[in-house]
Amino acid sequence: MSELEAEWARRLAEAEQRARQSGRSDVADYLALRALNDLARNTGVEWLLATFTAQAGEANRAGASIGLTNTDAHRFRVGNSTMAGHRLMLSTGVRVLTIEAGWPRTPRDGIVRGGGLANARIAHFGNPSANDELLLMQSKGDAAPRWLVLDPAGVRPTLEEARVRHHVARLLD
């Protein structure tokens, strides 16, 4: 979590406490939900980027030559909305695999469609048929958020490490 995100979490907690002390349980409940959703978003994005980074590291230990570039405060479009988050680029030669993950931060940024908390995109430069669009979901009973792959056929499988390995292997093919 960045310093800005940690400061944001601290201020949300303070605002929630003030709302509870002043008897505004409705505001306090909203702020508690907001903090919980932000935690789920940060956890989901961190897992996604760490999983790709780990797979690239394994490939490099096996002899590949994958370069990594991280960008914080990255913005990207999903439909009519703008997501703010992070970008990880894995590159080898002219091949590039880009992972973007984030969520709208201000009302003018728009929304995450489909009832999700965040969006992500896995893009293979020059090979759009290999790309994946992702939606971060948090079910009421789930302990952890999970990324769903938005398949064009309407199926939404959970993103697993095997699919991440496949994307890294495709980068190296």
pLDDT tens column, 63-81: 999 999 999 989 999 999 9
pLDDT > 90: what percent of the chain?
61
Mean model confidence pLDDT for the chain: 88
% pLDDT > 70, the chain: 90
Is a pLDDT exceeding 90 seen at residue 136? yes
* pLDDT for 30 beyond 70: yes
pLDDT of 151 above 80: yes
Distances (CA, A) of 113 to 19, 82, 116, 154: 30, 12, 6, 14
**Bridge partners, 85 (sequence order):** 74, 102
Across the range 139-150, mean pLDDT stands at 81
Confidence at residue 97, expressed as pLDDT on a 0 to 100 scale: 97
Residue 45 phi/psi, 5-degree rounding, is -65, -45
Domain locations along the chain: 48-172
Judge whether residue 4 has pLDDT over 80.
no
Query: Which residue in the block uniquely carries the two structure tokens 């995100």?
Result: 5
Distance (Å, rounded) from C-alpha 98 to C-alpha 141? 32
User: Model confidence over 77-129: pLDDT tens digits?
Assistant: 999 999 999 999 999 989 999 999 999 988 899 999 888 999 999 999 999 99
pLDDT value, residue 56: 97
* pLDDT reported for residue 153: 83
Partners of residue 135 on adjacent β-strands: 119, 148
